Amino acid sequence: MPLMSGRKRRAEAVAEEESDAAASPVSSPEPATQRRRLSPEDEDYGDGNNAAEDGNLQQLVKKMVRLALACEYQRRPIRRADISEKVLGNAGSRKFKEMFNAAQMELRSVFGMEMMELPQREKVTVAQKRAAQKSQSQANKPIASWILVSTLPADFHDPAILPPPRAPTSDEESRYTAIYTTLVSLISLSGGALPAAKMERYLRRLEIEDNTPVAAQQATGQEKTEKLLKRMEREGYLIRVKESTGQGDDDVYWTVGPRGKVEIGEDGVRGLTKAVYGDLDEGADEELDRKIARSLGLGDAPPAARGQNAAPQKKKGRRRKDADDDEEDEDSDAD
């Protein structure tokens, strides 16, 4: 009998210990996954993620380069909206900067080109200027479009080295390039705005008031001048501005478009003008430079003289102790 009671007491003690152990949260063991160290398989999987991200970036860069080349072939701007839709897709805008910089390096190293920002259209009419004054958010907007420009040295900018594109033909591209470069130069040398009546007079002098030597894109024969001007507007070389005078009439004039400013610019206008005048002696060449600079609104001095005169003025401005005077001197130099 005493033996049976001793066994019963030991069984009850064991049962109490097991119940206490089950009820106590401190004594419960932690999950094995929390104590497990990373295995070699886990490290390999992490490297695989990095490799996948690098491969994804390379694919984005290739898409960006293809889009840039395709847009330039069609003389279309490379728009940020197209990049988000056709290149980034689900990757989102967080990949934009990294992808864009990598694409720029690829374009420079392989194609000798780079994407350059297109300036926004200037507000020339009174209505446009008033709208710009009301909206102060224009300055904070990100860059919206780019075009491709060459990064090759100036010595390589020669038709013998860089001939016109062969699509549709080299001759057609040469004619079209000559016409829009001439019109952009005429507008630029006229103070940046050319009235429609003067444009028509220049077209008659060039004998392209009705038809042009450029082949029509949508039909056989030569391109009508009106359609060619609309094509130049569409591609950003020219802008046709129509402004109401308030008396029932409209003032119509032409300005240089964003692509015309970047692709041709002041250097292209100067080069075309000097090519028309041909070889001149030193004195006549300097006088021509002064006339071109005045027409472009750059002052009377030729480019070399402007660069030489700018340096001493900047040094003089930096010697001043007054910061406000320094800023005024630098602003006057920039003007």
- CATH number of the domain within which 260 lies: 1.10.10
The verdict on residue 9 lying in a domain is no
Q: Is 130 helix (H, G, I), strand (E, B) or coil?
A: helix
What pLDDT does 203 receive? Answer: 96
Do residue 298 and residue 251 come from a single domain? Answer: no
Do residue 284 and residue 262 come from a single domain? Answer: no
The overall average pLDDT reported for the chain is 78
* 271, containing H or E segment: helix 265-277
Do residue 204 and residue 114 come from a single domain? Answer: no
More confident residue, 1 or 49: 49
The verdict on residue 271 lying in a domain is no
The pLDDT of 194-220, averaged and rounded, is 89
What pLDDT does 130 receive? Answer: 61
Give CA–CA dist 98/91, Å, rounded.
12
Q: Count the domains in the chain.
A: 3
The verdict on residue 33 lying in a domain is no
Confidence (pTM): 0.71
Whether residue 156 contacts residue 162, with contact meaning beta carbons closer than 8 Å, is answered with yes
More confident residue, 169 or 10: 169
What pLDDT does 120 receive? Answer: 84
More confident residue, 169 or 116: 116
For residue 1, pLDDT beyond 70: no
What percentage of the chain's residues is helix, strand, coil (to nearest 5)?
A: 65, 10, 25
Of all residues in the chain, the percent with pLDDT exceeding 70 is: 66
What pLDDT does 250 receive? Answer: 84
Do residue 298 and residue 261 come from a single domain? Answer: no
The verdict on residue 99 lying in a domain is yes
| Bridge partners of residue 147, in order along the sequence | 116
Do residue 257 and residue 311 come from a single domain? Answer: no
Beta strands in the chain (DSSP E): 78-79, 113-117, 145-150, 193-195, 211-215, 222-224, 238-244, 250-256
Do residue 223 and residue 285 come from a single domain? Answer: no
Give CA–CA dist 97/110, Å, rounded.
20
Q: Which residues contact 224 (CB under 8 A, 6 or more apart)?
A: 210, 211, 212, 216
For residue 290, pLDDT beyond 90: yes
More confident residue, 264 or 48: 264
Residues in the chain: 335
Q: Is 311 helix (H, G, I), strand (E, B) or coil?
A: helix
Do residue 169 and residue 262 come from a single domain? Answer: yes
Looking at this protein, which amino acid is placed at residue 9? R
The verdict on residue 230 lying in a domain is yes
The pLDDT of 283-296, averaged and rounded, is 93
The pLDDT of 319-335, averaged and rounded, is 45
Q: What is the pLDDT of residues 83-131, one digit of tens each?
A: 999 999 887 788 899 999 999 999 999 999 999 999 987 766 656 566 6
What pLDDT does 45 receive? Answer: 52
Give CA–CA dist 286/300, Å, rounded.
10
The verdict on residue 102 lying in a domain is yes
Give CA–CA dist 282/223, Å, rounded.
41
The verdict on residue 210 lying in a domain is yes
For residue 216, pLDDT beyond 60: yes
Give CA–CA dist 94/265, Å, rounded.
34
- When pLDDT is cut at 50, 70 and 90, the band that residue 314 belongs to is very low
Do residue 256 and residue 310 come from a single domain? Answer: no
The pLDDT of 29-45, averaged and rounded, is 52
Do residue 104 and residue 170 come from a single domain? Answer: no
- 187 CB-contact burial (10 Å; exposed 0-12 / middle 13-18 / buried 19+): buried
For residue 30, pLDDT beyond 70: no
What pLDDT does 259 receive? Answer: 96
Candidate from 9-18, 43-52, 110-119, 300-309 with smallest mean pLDDT: 300-309
Q: Is 110 left (phi over 0), alpha (psi -120 to 50) or beta?
A: alpha
What pLDDT does 91 receive? Answer: 77
Looking at this protein, which amino acid is placed at residue 318? R
Domain residue limits at 292: 279-320
For residue 160, pLDDT beyond 50: yes
Residue 108: give its domain's CATH number: 1.10.10.1200
